[in-house]
Amino acid sequence: MKVSLVAVVLVIGLTAAAHAASDGPAIAPPPPWVKPVPPATPPLKSDDTPVRVLLIDQQLALETGRTTLYSETVFRIQTAQGLSAGNISVPWSPDTDTLTVHKLLIRRGDQTIDVLKSGGTFTVLRREQNLESASLDGVLTANIQPEGLQVGDTIEFAASVSSSDPIFKGHVEEFAANWNDVAAGRAHLRMQWPAALKARVRPTSALPALKPVTDNGVTSVELSLDGVEPMLPP
């Protein structure tokens, strides 16, 4: 299935105060509103693709003045060339964002290695991209390279970024499901917001219709696709 997966959510709300993050990522369980999504079942036999992505999951919560984006990726390393995919980096802006890492697991046969509980730590880097223009954006990058990765390992990584910027005065918006450049066994998107907030969802024409559902005062839309292939540019 070849689809261009880009959805935009716009929410108009009231003002909210900014919440700055610390110098490094927090380690905590996922937010309670996150729904577990199983990855696609990998083929029994590996092909020559360096990395096979089994799951890309994005779950987004919007509230007055704040967005929280939960992301989970599950992928299998199939060749020696794919070992570099284990070098994981997550950018965030400490002035407006809070970065929380939820899990980093390596599954090797019947063995599960919890990298964070085994002593793995993130290195925080500051990579200014516009120094030649005398511009500093303050974006930090949390980086980790698990030791001892092997061909055949399956890696599960999940983190969330909660953002609040007082400049928007309570208005929040987010792009989601921008998976155009990767093949994935399963791609999942869920977005939720309080039913009292006025929200607009604008999917691209390639997406199936997204029908809002309201339950217990929360409105949500959800999309799950299997066998997603990247869009090829003309």
pLDDT, tens only, 29-74: 999 999 999 999 877 677 888 999 999 999 999 888 889 999 999 9
Name the residue ranges covered by the structural domains of the chain.
7-78+96-104+155-228
Cα angle 130-71-213, degrees, rounded to a multiple of 5: 120
> Considering the chain, what percentage of its residues have pLDDT values greater than 70?
84
> Which of 232, 211, 234 minimizes the C-alpha distance to 7?
211
- Tokens 């930090």 locate to 140
10 three-class SS: strand
User: Is residue 78 very low, low, confident or very high in pLDDT (cuts 50, 70, 90)?
Assistant: very high
The percent of residues in the chain predicted with pLDDT above 90, rounded, is 49
Q: Please return the burial class of 168, using the count of CB atoms within 10 Å of its CB with bins 0-12, 13-18 and 19+.
A: middle
Q: Whole-prediction pTM value?
A: 0.83
Q: Are 224 and 188 in contact (CB under 8 A)?
A: yes
Contact predicate 65/170, CB 8 Å: yes
C-alpha to C-alpha distance for 13 and 220, rounded to whole angstroms: 17
